[in-house]
Amino acid sequence: MSSAARIGIGGPVGSGKTYIIEKLIPVLQERGVSVGVVTNDLVTKEDADRLRRSGALPEGRVSAVEAGACPHTVIREDPSLNILAADELEERFPGLDLVIVESGGDNLASTFSTDLVDWWMFVIDVAGGGDIPRKRGPGVLRSDLLVVNKTDLSAYVNVDLPTMEEETKHVRVDKPYVMASAMNGNGIEDIADDIVRSVLFDHPALRDLVETMS
């Protein structure tokens, strides 16, 4: 049985999922969280190789799954490949507290199986269009956390950022969201806070931190 919490990160191609993971790992590690990552690509291991090169984690803690099919399949319809990869990570590193499963780049219909992850975030980006929240895709509506990334680009892509945030708040109702610019480090601490509060609240090293966040 899995002892590490498992979270998913999904979103369209180019929304910044891998870069967010790169930035997130050291923040979580500073809080005493031991992390492993499973990446998904269609027929390559590019995202896994990028994380390994970044030095954020030892190479062995990054596992690559070549989906060979629509990314929906391996995170929702048949997540067995990802479950196996996460199980193998935990076998190799028994002290893992958290396994992050990154979906291959996908559209707004991406969702994660509850058999695979305990909690999941969905990443969209400002450069993809300010109307994305209004389209109310399943990833936007159902994710445990929505991240609106690349806020620093709004002026360059003619997006009214306050309006996009207001529409995000409206469609999310009472669910959390983060306005982020991962390239500048903005929003990464907020994402880590939500993971700690929502997923790792029983982590012994984080109990005092969670209490201060209550």
Q: How confident is the model at residue 1 (pLDDT cuts 50, 70, 90)?
A: very low
What is the predicted pLDDT for the residue at 42?
66
Q: What is the mean pLDDT of residues 111-130?
A: 96
Q: How many domains does the chain have?
A: 1
Looking at residue 94, what is its pLDDT? 92
User: Is residue 112 assigned to a domain?
Assistant: yes
Does residue 208 lie in a domain region? no
Q: How far apart are CA 83 and CA 88, in angstroms?
A: 9
Q: CA-based diameter of the chain, in Å?
A: 48
Does residue 79 belong to any structural domain of this protein?
yes
Contact 130, 164 (CB under 8 A): yes
Domain membership of residue 61 as a residue range: 5-203
Residues 41, 13: Cα–Cα separation, whole Å: 11
The pLDDT, as a whole number, for residue 72 is 77
What CATH number corresponds to the domain at position 64? 3.40.50.300
Per-residue pLDDT for 69 more than 80?
no
- Written as six digits, the tokens of 33 are 């969280």
Q: Is residue 211 part of a domain?
A: no
Residue 100 tokens read as 């992050």
User: Of 70, 141, 148, whose CA–CA distance to 106 is shortest?
Assistant: 70
Interior angle at CA 190, CA 45 and CA 24, nearest 5 = 25
